[in-house]
Amino acid sequence: MNPLLSFLANLQYKFLKWRVNREIYNRIMAHNRGNDCHDYPFMDREQMLKLTEMLDVQALLDDTEACIAQMPTGYGQAFRYIMHRNLCQQLLRYHQLAKWQARPRTVPAAYATKA
């Protein structure tokens, strides 16, 4: 891979990691605890989980695919390629971040607690 492209991909990943962690720790957690109001459409974790379930990504993708099917063939195929490429690139970044956050972590003995 081109060193410049590798650098930019790494920079994008680090920015995503910073942005997601900042929103989680500085906004959503504070909002859910009632410490701060950040105008989220939920008041606690339970409401947040319900709203997450309502965000139907698959239905939106299916509807977009139906719109693409109505486009002129060549344009629609190109549009679909660009959309899938961009979605995959962004989803891959989230996947990498999720894998990193889910990795096993070692805890120093001084900090370990018994269950």
Closest of 60, 61, 31 to residue 48, by C-alpha: 31
pLDDT of residue 115: 46
The two structure tokens encoding residue 17: 């990691």
pLDDT at residue 16 in the model: 93
Q: What is the pLDDT along the chain (115 residues), one digit of tens a residue?
A: 789 988 988 898 899 999 999 999 888 888 888 777 778 888 888 999 999 999 999 999 999 999 999 999 999 999 999 999 999 999 999 999 999 888 877 655 555 555 4
Residue 30 neighbours by CB under 8 Å, 6+ apart: 36, 38
Cα 31 to the center of its chain, rounded Å: 19
Give the pLDDT score at 43.
Answer: 86
Amino acid at site 41: P
Tokens at residue 55, please?
A: 């965000």
